[in-house]
C-alpha cells in the first residue's frame, strides 16, 4: 500500500547498516493476507565472529493492549462530553426557563387583554348605537383597522405557542444530551432502554435527518435492564449512525423525498430484551460479513471511520453485558443489527441458539 515502508527505510536495514538494536513499543506489521497487526518489537544485529551476518526480530502482539487503550480513550472522551454537557445544560437551562416563563406570561396576558379589548369594543358599538362619542368611536375603529387588529388577535397566540414549543424542544434536547453523555457509574443500574434510544435519536438527529426518516416501534412494556447505561448509549449511537451512513453511501432511499428509512424496534423476550436497528441501505456483502466486528475493520474512506465502532459495540454487548449482537443483511436491500441483552444484566440463563 501507499503507507508500506520499503526495506531501505525500515528498521531492519538500519540495524544491518548501524549494528545497533532498535526497539519500538507501538508499531504495525502487515501480514501476508493484508491484515494490520499491532506489535511491540526489538530488532538486533546478528553478530558472528565480529561480522554482522543479519538481524534477529522479536515481537509480541499488543492488539489487546491497544484495544484497551482505545476503550479507555473512548471512555475518557465520553466523560469529557458528559462534563461539558452538564455545564452547557446548567448555562442554557436558566435563560431557557426565563424565556419559557415569560412566553407563558405573555400568552396568559394576551388572553386577558383580548377579553378586556372585547369589552371595550362592545362598549364602542353601544355608544355608536346611542349616537354618542361618534368621533371617538370612529377614531378607535380606524386605529383598529390600521393595525389589522383581527390579524393580531389571531396570530399573537399562535406565535407565542410556537415560540414556547421551540423553547421546550430546546430544553428536551439539552436534557437528552445530558442524560446521554453523563458519565455513568462503574456499577450496573436499572435503565429504561426505550428512553435511552429516544435520547440517542435526539442527540444524533443531525446525522440522519437529511438522509433518512426514522420509525420507532418501542415496546411500552419493555422491562428495565440492569446495565451500564452510558456504554449502551454508545452502542445505540454507533448503530444509528452506521445505518444513516449505509443509506447515504447507497445513494439515499426510495422515498418521494429521496430519503431512506431507519427503523428501531424493541421487544421483551422472557428474560431478555431485543433491540433491532434496521436500515434501507446497500446491505453488507457476504465476503466482508465475517469481519464487521473485527477491530479496525472499515470500508469507509480514510478519515471517515476508524473501524472501532462495531468492535466497541460487540465488546460492550458481549463482554460487559453477557448479551449477543449480530446482523441480518440482504445486499442491495438493507441491514438489521440486533442486540439481545439479559434483563438481569448477567448470563444467569442460557439463551437458546
In sequence order, what are the residues at sequence separation of 6 or more whose Cβ sits closer than 8 angstroms to the Cβ of residue 172? 202
Q: What is the mean pLDDT of residues 286-305?
A: 63
Closest listed residue to residue 313, CA positions, set 72, 78, 82, 71: 71
Q: How many CB atoms lie within 10 A of CB 8?
A: 9
Q: What is the pLDDT of residues 297-329, one digit of tens each?
A: 565 554 444 445 788 888 889 988 999 999 999
**For helices 63-130 and 149-181, what crossing angle results, to 10°?**
160
**3-state secondary structure (DSSP) of residue 339:** strand
Residue 67 or residue 223, greater confidence: 223
Q: If pLDDT is split at 50, 70 and 90, which confidence band does 66 have?
A: confident
Q: Alpha helices of 190-329 — where are they, by DSSP H?
A: 193-203, 205-208, 229-249, 286-289, 309-314
| Partner residues linked to 265 by β-bridges | 217, 276
| pLDDT at residue 74 greater than cutoff 50 | yes
**How many Å apart are CA 187 and CA 228, to the nearest integer?**
7
Quote the pLDDT of residue 155: 92
**How many Å apart are CA 318 and CA 298, to the nearest integer?**
20
| Partner residues linked to 38 by β-bridges | 28
**Do 52 and 97 contact (CB within 8 A), yes or no?**
no
Q: If pLDDT is split at 50, 70 and 90, which confidence band does 267 have?
A: very high
Q: How many CB atoms lie within 10 A of CB 64?
A: 10
Q: What is the pLDDT of residues 86-130, one digit of tens each?
A: 677 777 778 888 898 999 999 999 999 999 998 988 888 888 888
Indicate the average pLDDT of the chain.
83
| pLDDT at residue 194 greater than cutoff 90 | yes
The angle formed by the CA atoms of residues 42, 44 and 48, to the nearest 5 degrees, is 155
Quote the pLDDT of residue 302: 41
The angle formed by the CA atoms of residues 91, 92 and 93, to the nearest 5 degrees, is 100
Closest listed residue to residue 38, CA positions, set 306, 299, 293, 296: 296
Q: How many CB atoms lie within 10 A of CB 306?
A: 14
Q: What pTM was estimated for this model as a whole?
A: 0.59
Q: How many CB atoms lie within 10 A of CB 192?
A: 15
| pLDDT at residue 5 greater than cutoff 80 | no
- Conformational region of residue 349, where left means phi above 0, alpha means psi within -120 to 50, and beta covers everything else: beta
Q: Which helix (H) or strand (E) holds 272?
A: strand 272-279
Amino acid at each position: 500500500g501507499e503507507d508500506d515502508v520499503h526495506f531501505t527505510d525500515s528498521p531492519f536495514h538500519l540495524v544491518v547498516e548501524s549494528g545497533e538494536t532498535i526497539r519500538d513499543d507501538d508499531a504495525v506489521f502487515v501480514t501476508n493476507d493484508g491484515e494490520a497487526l499491532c506489535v511491540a518489537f526489538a530488532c538486533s544485529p546478528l553478530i558472528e565472529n565480529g561480522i554482522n551476518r543479519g538481524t534477529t526480530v522479536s515481537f509480541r502482539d499488543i492488539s489487546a493492549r491497544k484495544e484497551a487503550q482505545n476503550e479507555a480513550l473512548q471512555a475518557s472522551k465520553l466523560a469529557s462530553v458528559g462534563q461539558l454537557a452538564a455545564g452547557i445544560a446548567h448555562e442554557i437551562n436558566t435563560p431557557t426557563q426565563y424565556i419559557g416563563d415569560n412566553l407563558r406570561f405573555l400568552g396568559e396576558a394576551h388572553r386577558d387583554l383580548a377579553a378586556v379589548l372585547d369589552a371595550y369594543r362592545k362598549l364602542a358599538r353601544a355608544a355608536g348605537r346611542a349616537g354618542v362619542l361618534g368621533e371617538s368611536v370612529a377614531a378607535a375603529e380606524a386605529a383598529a383597522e390600521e393595525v389589522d387588529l383581527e390579524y393580531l388577535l389571531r396570530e399573537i397566540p399562535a406565535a407565542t405557542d410556537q415560540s414556547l414549543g421551540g423553547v421546550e424542544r430546546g430544553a428536551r434536547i439539552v436534557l437528552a444530551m445530558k442524560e446521554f453523555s453523563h458519565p455513568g457509574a462503574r456499577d450496573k443500574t436499572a435503565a429504561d432502554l426505550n428512553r435511552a434510544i429516544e435520547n440517542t435519536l435526539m442527540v444524533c438527529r443531525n446525522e440522519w435527518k437529511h438522509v433518512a426518516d426514522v420509525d420507532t416501534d418501542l415496546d411500552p412494556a419493555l422491562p428495565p435492564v440492569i446495565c451500564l447505561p452510558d456504554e449502551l448509549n454508545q452502542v445505540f449511537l454507533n448503530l444509528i449512525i452506521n445505518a444513516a451512513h449505509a443509506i447515504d453511501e447507497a445513494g439515499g432511499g426510495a422515498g418521494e423525498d429521496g430519503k431512506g428509512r431507519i427503523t428501531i424496534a424493541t421487544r421483551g423476550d422472557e428474560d431478555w430484551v431485543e433491540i433491532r436497528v434496521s436500515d434501507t441501505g446497500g446491505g453488507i456483502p457476504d465476503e466482508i460479513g465475517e469481519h464487521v466486528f473485527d477491530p479496525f475493520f472499515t470500508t469507509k474512506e480514510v478519515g471517515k471511520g476508524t473501524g472501532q465502532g462495531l468492535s466497541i459495540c460487540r465488546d460492550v454487548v458481549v463482554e460487559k453485558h453477557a448479551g449477543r449482537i449480530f446482523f441480518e443483511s440482504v445486499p442491495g436491500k438493507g441491514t438489521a443489527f440486533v442486540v439481545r441483552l439479559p434483563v438481569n444484566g448477567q448470563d444467569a440463563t442460557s439463551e437458546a441458539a
